[in-house]
């Protein structure tokens, strides 16, 4: 039986996925559009500038990869906006400066959700709130903090940041800090390859406090030893908010298979990131297909419940086919092409990360 004939027979008798039947391109796009419309699409890492939500950078229409208009036109329903602070001097003055920048970014996100655009976007502090906002037809903002430098050595600041809406904390950024080692030690700080050989003693306390508060422990940017230590220690599932798979591209920011297996054992989730340098060698352009290859790898190794998507827009992210919120549909289309079901796509786009946020909430409640 030739392939064409067998496909024709199948299409008469069976409700197989369109992709398996060699459906027409138009059918496939229509199916993907419907799925893209229904699922909650959530990007777990979008950077904002310090002047965000001021007259210099209005969230609705600022010239940027993500704004509220392109989120709506592109069907990007929500994002973790990042309270990112770059590593600086680890002294009293440096810590104060980091805290000031963090507070400025919290205030900026709240100006967007609480006053400027409260009719279009709301701040979610729980998975249930995120789903409710989406059901209302509003965009969803969540807040992640990037770099535990924002607490210096003051554990009590975590409760303050939680009250401001933070729901994940990336332990380390570029350069070691007081919590742990970075995947990318910095010569400008005279970093050795390793400083703590994983998490510092203070770092273990930070993980405990994050668990107590229901803030996700984010293991992107940390060294492998730090990631494995934090993942083994955390009572709640951990998040890698923007990382890719090292088996497909050997970059220190990506997670190797041993790390992915540790993530699975912990119940955590890795959010494959649209960051060119983590997907392709310098000088080559990464595509949506490359990104989805990383999703496929994670799914094959540790299953559909442990993977999601992030952009790092505003922080160096962007690839061919997904270089801004307006192009978000291309990802759903590629997932449909590869045969992922709507249920799978819903998990990849937000179900997995919201599940672990709920689990972190339960751990915080002592459940
Ligand atoms: Zn980052």
Q: What is the pLDDT of residues 271-287, one digit of tens each?
A: 999 999 999 999 999 99
Burial class (CB in 10 A: 0-12, 13-18, 19+), 92: exposed
The average confidence (pLDDT) of the chain is 94
- The token pair at 144 is 């992640």
Q: Is 90 exceeded by the pLDDT of residue 75? A: yes
Cα of 317 vs centre of ligand 1, distance in Å, is 9
- Choose among 327, 324, 313, 322: nearest CA to 295: 322
Beta bridge partners of 42: 78
pLDDT (average), residues 121-146: 98
310's enclosing H/E stretch is strand 307-310
Cα of 14 vs centre of ligand 1, distance in Å, is 45
Cα of 301 vs centre of ligand 1, distance in Å, is 24
Dihedral of the CA atoms 145, 207, 261, 366 (nearest 10)? -110
CATH for the 18-364 domain, from 3.50.50.60, 3.90.1300.10, 3.20.20.140, 3.40.50.1010: 3.20.20.140
Cα of 253 vs centre of ligand 1, distance in Å, is 9
**DSSP string covering 168-228, please?**
EEES-BSB--SSB-BSS--GGGT--S-SSSSB-HHHHHHHHHHHHHTPEEE-TTB-HHHHH
pLDDT (average), residues 101-129: 98
Give the C-alpha separation, 280 to 29, whole Å: 27
**How does pLDDT run across 174-184, given as a tens digit for each residue?**
999 999 999 99
Q: Residue 273: CB partners within 8 Å, gap ≥ 6?
A: 45, 220, 242, 243, 244, 310, 311, 312, 317
CA 338-343-347 angle, to 5 degrees, is 90
Cα of 172 vs centre of ligand 1, distance in Å, is 9
Cα of 84 vs centre of ligand 1, distance in Å, is 8
139's enclosing H/E stretch is strand 139-146
Cα of 196 vs centre of ligand 1, distance in Å, is 21
- Choose among 164, 155, 267: nearest CA to 212: 155
Give the C-alpha separation, 161 to 230, whole Å: 20
Report the pLDDT value the prediction gives residue 32, as an integer from 0 to 100. Answer: 98
Report the pLDDT value the prediction gives residue 23, as an integer from 0 to 100. Answer: 73
**How does pLDDT run across 287-324, given as a tens digit for each residue?**
999 999 999 999 999 999 999 999 999 999 999 999 99
Q: Is 90 exceeded by the pLDDT of residue 102? A: yes
Cα of 24 vs centre of ligand 1, distance in Å, is 39
pLDDT (average), residues 132-156: 97
Write down the pTM of the prediction: 0.93
Report the pLDDT value the prediction gives residue 184, as an integer from 0 to 100. Answer: 98
Q: Are 247 and 256 in contact (CB under 8 A)?
A: yes
Which residue has 């409260």 as its token pair? Answer: 118
Burial class (CB in 10 A: 0-12, 13-18, 19+), 160: middle
Q: Is 80 exceeded by the pLDDT of residue 6? A: no
Give the C-alpha separation, 326 to 71, whole Å: 6
Question: With pLDDT > 70 as the criterion, what percentage of the chain qualifies?
Answer: 94
Q: Is 60 exceeded by the pLDDT of residue 99? A: yes
Report the pLDDT value the prediction gives residue 4, as an integer from 0 to 100. Answer: 40
pLDDT (average), residues 82-105: 97
Q: Of the given ranges (8-17, 242-251, 261-270, 351-360), which has the lowest mean pLDDT? A: 8-17
Residue 55 pLDDT class (50, 70, 90 cuts): very high
Report the pLDDT value the prediction gives residue 22, as an integer from 0 to 100. Answer: 62
Write the CA distances from 59 to 51, 113, 145, 312, integer angstroms: 10, 10, 19, 16
Q: Are 243 and 291 in contact (CB under 8 A)?
A: no
Cα of 8 vs centre of ligand 1, distance in Å, is 48
Beta bridge partners of 273: 310
Cα of 132 vs centre of ligand 1, distance in Å, is 28
Cα of 315 vs centre of ligand 1, distance in Å, is 7
Burial class (CB in 10 A: 0-12, 13-18, 19+), 165: buried
**How does pLDDT run across 233-260, given as a tens digit for each residue?**
999 999 999 999 999 999 999 999 999 9
Report the pLDDT value the prediction gives residue 341, as an integer from 0 to 100. Answer: 98
Which residue has 């002294």 as its token pair? Answer: 91
Cα of 367 vs centre of ligand 1, distance in Å, is 31
> Under DSSP, is residue 287 helix (H, G, I), strand (E, B) or coil?
strand
Give the C-alpha separation, 167 to 164, whole Å: 9
Cα of 47 vs centre of ligand 1, distance in Å, is 9
**How does pLDDT run across 342-357, given as a tens digit for each residue?**
999 999 999 999 999 9
Question: Phi/psi at 73 (nearest 5 deg)?
Answer: -70, -30
Q: Is 80 exceeded by the pLDDT of residue 19? A: no
Q: Is 50 exceeded by the pLDDT of residue 7? A: no
Report the pLDDT value the prediction gives residue 1, as an integer from 0 to 100. Answer: 34
Residue 13 pLDDT class (50, 70, 90 cuts): very low
């Amino acid at each position: 039986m030739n392939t064409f004939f067998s496909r024709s027979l199948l299409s008469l008798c069976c409700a197989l996925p369109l992709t398996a039947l060699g459906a027409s391109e138009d059918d496939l796009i229509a199916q993907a559009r419907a799925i893209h419309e229904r699922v909650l699409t959530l990007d777990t890492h979008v950077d904002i500038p310090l002047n965000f939500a001021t007259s210099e950078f209005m969230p609705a229409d600022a010239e940027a990869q993500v704004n509220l208009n392109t989120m709506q036109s592109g069907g990007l329903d929500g994002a973790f906006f990042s309270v990112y602070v770059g590593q600086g001097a680890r002294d009293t003055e440096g810590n104060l400066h980091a805290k000031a920048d963090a507070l400025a970014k919290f205030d900026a996100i709240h100006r967007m959700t609480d006053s400027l655009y409260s009719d279009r976007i709301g701040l979610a502090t729980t998975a249930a709130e995120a789903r409710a906002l989406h059901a209302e037809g509003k965009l969803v903002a969540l807040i992640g903090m990037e770099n535990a430098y924002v607490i210096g050595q003051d554990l009590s600041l975590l409760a303050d940041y939680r009250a401001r809406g933070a729901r994940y904390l990336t332990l380390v950024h570029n350069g070691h800090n007081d919590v742990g080692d970075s995947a990318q030690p910095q010569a400008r700080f005279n970093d050795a390859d390793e400083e703590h050989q994983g998490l510092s003693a203070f770092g273990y306390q930070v993980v405990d406090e994050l668990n107590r508060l229901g803030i996700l422990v984010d293991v992107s940017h940390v060294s492998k030893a730090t990631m494995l230590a934090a993942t083994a220690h955390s009572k709640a599932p951990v998040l890698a908010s923007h990382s890719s798979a090292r088996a497909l591209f050997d970059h220190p920011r990506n997670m190797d298979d041993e790390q992915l297996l540790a993530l699975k054992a912990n119940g955590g989730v890795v959010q494959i990131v649209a960051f060119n340098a983590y997907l392709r060698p310098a000088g080559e352009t990464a595509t949506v297909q490359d990104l989805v290859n990383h999703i496929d790898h994670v799914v094959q190794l540790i299953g559909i419940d442990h993977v999601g998507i992030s952009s790092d827009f505003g922080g160096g992210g962007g690839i061919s086919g997904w270089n801004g919120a307006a192009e978000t549909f291309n990802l759903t289309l590629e997932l449909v092409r590869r045969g992922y079901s709507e249920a799978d796509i819903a998990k990849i786009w937000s179900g997995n990360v919201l599940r672990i946020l709920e689990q972190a909430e339960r751990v915080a409640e002592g459940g």
